[in-house]
Structure formats: C-alpha cells, structure tokens
Amino acid sequence: MPDTQIVQDTDPRCAELEAAGYRVVGESWAAHLSSPDRDLLETAVSRVTASGLIVRELGAEAAESLHQLEKLNERDYPVTPATERIVGELAKTQALWPEHRVFGAFDRSRLVGATVIRSRDGAGDTRFTSVLASYRRRGVGQAVKAASILAFLEIGITRFSTGGAAVNDGSLGANEALGYVVDERWRSYQL
C-alpha cells in the first residue's frame, strides 16, 4: 500500500513532499456558503421543475431508489485518496436516515438526481450529490442542492459546506453557481 499524504495546498509541506519525490495523485476542494441568496436558490429549483421534473425531500421509503441511483453512478465518481465514494449495500443507504436529509429530482417516478445533507456543527454539510448521466448539465444537481439549502434555511441554518474532487468540473461549477466559495484546496501525494 503506497504512503499517502493529504495536505492543504497552502501548507509548506507540499514543497517538502515534492522535494522528497512524492507526486500529486489527486486534488480536492472544500467550499462554504454563508447567508445564501434565496432567489438564486429558488430559481435553480424552478428551472428544473419548469422542465417537468419534480424536486422534493425524500423519506427513508426512498432508500431503494437512492441506492439504485448511486449504483448506476458509482463508476462515474472520481477516485482519489481524499474523495473515493463507495456505495455499498442497500443497508448502508437505508442508514442515512434520520441523521441525513435527502432531496431528489424525479422524472415521473424515476429518481434522476439526489443530494444528501446533514446538520454538523450548526451548518448544513453535503455528504454527496448524484445525478444520472443522461440528466447531467441540465441543472438537476444544482436544483436538488438548492432545495436542500432552502429547507435548512427554514430551520435557521445559514452556513453550508461541501467538497469534491478537482477533476469533477461539473460539481464544482454547480456549487459555485449556487454561491459556494472554494476556500480550501487539497493535494493527495504518494511516493
């Protein structure tokens, strides 16, 4: 197993690791959102619902649909030492509730996109967002994430965090479009 070091890109250890022969094998980012723009969020949701999709919160009864969505998308998740996503068995998906809240987009009865979020340290922290390949680049990821933020605003949470792999431009763009600001970048080094 290779020696892996995950270091923030502003850390002086980056130069030391590189000088010691370590190479960057993955990059990731973290972003935060404070006092979100409700109009922007509502517009993100309404753009998608105007196309005929339904965006709503999902209860635990939707675990099987979420698990199927994730299994279909599992091969598309970027794999880096800091961002690997393993879907696992249905029981793992079922265990998301009640700690997490799930928001999904449906095309008729088919779940085509979802985001999973929880309250952590007084902020809304996104665990993951997933959109079927044929529905990507249509604002579905933005819409489900916007719906989750709007729901958390209703309970008084106004700070949010998220993150992902640097190679996933779509995710990064969707989050920035909602007002998230990337404030941390990380490098994964291996010998």
Contact between 32 and 161 (Cβ < 8 Å): yes
The proportion of the chain whose per-residue pLDDT surpasses 90, expressed as a percent, equals 90
Residues 164, 77 contacting (CB under 8 angstroms): no
Residues of the chain with pLDDT > 70, as a percent, come to: 99
Mean pLDDT across 97-109:
97
Q: What is the mean pLDDT of the chain?
A: 95
**What values do phi and psi take at 7, rounded to 5?**
-135, 140
Write out pLDDT tens, residues 4-63.
999 999 999 999 999 999 999 999 999 999 999 999 999 999 999 999 999 999 999 999
User: pLDDT confidence of 81, banded at 50, 70, 90?
Assistant: confident
Stated pTM of the model: 0.92
Any domain includes 17 = no
Q: Find the CATH number of the domain harbouring 147.
A: 3.40.630.30
Distances (CA, A) of 153 to 31, 38, 69, 93: 18, 9, 27, 25
Residue 135 lies in a domain: yes
User: Cα(178)–Cα(138) distance, rounded to whole angstroms?
Assistant: 14
**pLDDT, tens only, 142-167:** 999 999 999 999 999 999 999 999 99
**Would the pLDDT of 66 be above 70?**
yes
Residue 21 covered by a domain:
no
Asked, for residue 66, whether it belongs to a domain, the answer is yes
Residue 60, domain extent: 35-181
Residue 172 domain flag: yes
2 domain residue, yes or no:
no
How many domains would you assign to the chain? 1
Structural domain includes residue 50: yes
Q: Is residue 10 in some structural domain? A: no
pLDDT of 90 > 70? The answer is yes
pLDDT value, residue 77: 85
**Mean pLDDT along residues 172-178:** 95
Whether residue 1 is predicted with pLDDT greater than 70 in this model: the reply is no
pLDDT at 85: 79
